[in-house]
């Protein structure tokens, strides 16, 4: 039996989501662009889901652009805006789907710069303001909550600075935030906002970019009129319907989910404090209710992950995407954590189905491994 504690990598699909999808896998198969009645049925299902995703995020349905997930939505936001070059700023702790996308654009026409964070993982507003004042900025991209540490940025405050000081566009990667905390695109001041279904108990391979301002986007690929020509290709109706159902669930369950996750995290953190040799990263920062990133003295992150795996616990070493790289997490390095400590990081991310018993068994396993590490 495995105990799954890796919900920031992906979540299991909620049974209600599967139920909502099944009819579209078994039955209505028509192309949503077809004008006949079956095509219109697929179109209606897509539009109902669009309204549900918009509602979760305080947006209008017309502002939702379907994508294949967070990576594509981040690429569409960044490449779509930076098509004609300019100056792009992104936080040093961004997910590779922003960071590597941004770096790939760096050339004679496009200046790309990282924004530093403090030791708690937060963007320093004064430093950002200084960067904004240097020369005109086209786009600033910042994540609402970090996938590794769970650190939550003051996105609304950053948006005010970006819009007032630089008149730049503001993109928010809300992939980890959506479904775990309130995400309102207007309140966050985001011109563009990324979400992904599989992080909130929906199916994989579907996400969305929200566009709330009249931003001129250049599509990533051409050859279809879907999504106003911004995302050509026949829609995956069942996946989109599943995303809509997951968004609806997230909205009705958000408060209960937050209370449950926060309680599990607090129980875990209280137990961690009694284990010798534990480093708890960004412990003093405001964080997602479900996320703990930590290291155990004497253990490399991947070795610790495998030791926990042998005892039935599924956790992650830093970001799932970094597995196998053997490099310290760029997030921790940006926070000033020494490489030797950062290499020991593992991430525990609780989910809806986890229990007090899961937490207590994990604490017992870590206590045993701490003794081994100290030998
Ligand atoms: C903050 C963040 N942005 C983007 C992504 C990529 O999302 P997707 O897996 O839907 O492509 C992830 C996935 O881990 C993420 O954590």
Whichever domain contains 299, its CATH number is: 3.90.1150.10
Higher pLDDT, residue 293 or 213: 293
pLDDT tens digit sequence for 265-305: 999 999 999 999 999 999 999 999 999 999 999 999 999 99
Atom of ligand 1 at shortest distance to CA of 147?
Answer: 16
Average pLDDT rounded to a whole number, residues 175-200: 98
* 71 Cα to the center of ligand 1, angstroms: 6
* pLDDT greater than 80 at residue 374: no
* pLDDT greater than 70 at residue 375: no
pLDDT tens digit sequence for 46-62: 999 999 999 999 999 99
Tally of structural domains, the chain: 2
Out of 321, 353, 363, 365, pick the active-site residue: 321
One domain, residues 231 and 311: no
Atom of ligand 1 at shortest distance to CA of 196?
Answer: 10
* pLDDT greater than 80 at residue 333: yes
CA distance 1 to 225: 47
* pLDDT greater than 60 at residue 325: no
| Boundary-marking domain end, from 225, 249, 273 | 249
What's the pLDDT score for residue 133?
A: 94
- Average pLDDT over the chain, rounded to whole? 95
Count CB-CB contacts under 10 A for residue 369: 20
> Residue 190: CB partners within 8 Å, gap ≥ 6?
155, 159, 170, 171, 172, 174, 210, 212
| Boundary-marking domain end, from 249, 270, 289 | 249
* pLDDT greater than 90 at residue 135: yes
Alpha helices in 57-184 (DSSP H): 70-81, 96-104, 125-134, 155-161
One domain, residues 327 and 343: yes
Structural domain boundaries, residue 220: 15-249
One domain, residues 61 and 210: yes
One domain, residues 237 and 271: no
pLDDT tens digit sequence for 153-177: 999 999 999 998 778 999 999 999 9
One domain, residues 229 and 345: no
Residue 320: pLDDT band with limits 50, 70, 90: very low
Q: Assess whether 314 carries a catalytic annotation.
A: no
One domain, residues 264 and 225: no
One domain, residues 223 and 278: no
> Residue 38: CB partners within 8 Å, gap ≥ 6?
28, 29, 30
One domain, residues 226 and 84: yes
One domain, residues 174 and 76: yes
Residue 308: pLDDT band with limits 50, 70, 90: very high
Which helix (DSSP H) or strand (DSSP E) does residue 141 occupy?
Answer: strand 139-143
One domain, residues 7 and 19: no
Any residues with Cβ below 6 Å from ligand 1, and which? 69-71, 74, 95, 97, 143, 147, 173, 175-176, 196, 198, 207
Say which CATH number the domain at 218 has.
Answer: 3.40.640.10
One domain, residues 39 and 52: yes
One domain, residues 238 and 344: no
| Boundary-marking domain end, from 249, 272, 302 | 249
């Amino acid at each position: 039996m495995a105990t799954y504690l890796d919900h920031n990598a992906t979540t299991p699909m909620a049974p209600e989501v599967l139920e909502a999808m099944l009819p579209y896998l078994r039955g209505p198969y028509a192309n949503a662009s077809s004008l006949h009645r079956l095509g219109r049925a697929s179109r209606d299902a897509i539009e109902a889901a669009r309204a549900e995703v918009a509602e979760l995020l305080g947006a209008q349905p017309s502002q939702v652009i379907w994508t294949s997930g967070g990576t594509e939505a981040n690429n569409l936001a960044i490449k779509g805006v930076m098509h004609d070059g300019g100056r792009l700023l992104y936080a040093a702790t961004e997910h590779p789907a922003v960071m590597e996308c941004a770096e790939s654009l760096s050339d004679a026409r496009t200046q790309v710069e990282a924004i530093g964070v403090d030791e708690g993982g937060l963007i320093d507003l004064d430093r950002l303001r200084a960067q904004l004042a240097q020369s005109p900025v086209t786009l600033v991209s910042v994540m609402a909550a970090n996938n590794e540490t769970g650190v939550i940025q003051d996105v609304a405050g950053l948006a005010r600075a970006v819009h007032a000081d630089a008149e730049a566009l503001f993109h928010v990667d809300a992939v980890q935030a959506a479904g775990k905390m309130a995400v309102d695109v207007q309140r966050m001041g985001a011109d563009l906002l990324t979400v992904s279904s599989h992080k909130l108990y929906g199916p994989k391979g579907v996400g969305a970019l929200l566009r709330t301002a009249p931003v001129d986007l250049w599509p990533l690929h051409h050859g279809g009129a879907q999504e106003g020509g911004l995302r050509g290709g026949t829609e995956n109706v069942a996946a989109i319907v599943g995303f809509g159902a997951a968004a609806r669930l997230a909205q009705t369950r958000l408060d209960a989910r937050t209370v449950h996750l926060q309680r599990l995290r607090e129980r875990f953190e209280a137990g961690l404090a009694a284990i010798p040799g534990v480093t708890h990263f960004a412990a003093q920062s405001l964080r997602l209710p479900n996320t703990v990133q930590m290291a155990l003295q004497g253990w490399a992150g991947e070795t610790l992950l495998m030791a926990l795996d042998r005892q039935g616990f599924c956790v992650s070493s830093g970001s799932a995407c970094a597995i196998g790289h053997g490099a310290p997490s760029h997030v921790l390095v940006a926070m000033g954590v020494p490489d030797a400590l950062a290499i020991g990081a593992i991430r525990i991310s609780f989910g809806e189905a986890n229990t007090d018993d899961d937490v207590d068994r994990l604490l017992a396993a870590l206590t045993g491994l701490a003794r081994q590490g100290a030998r």
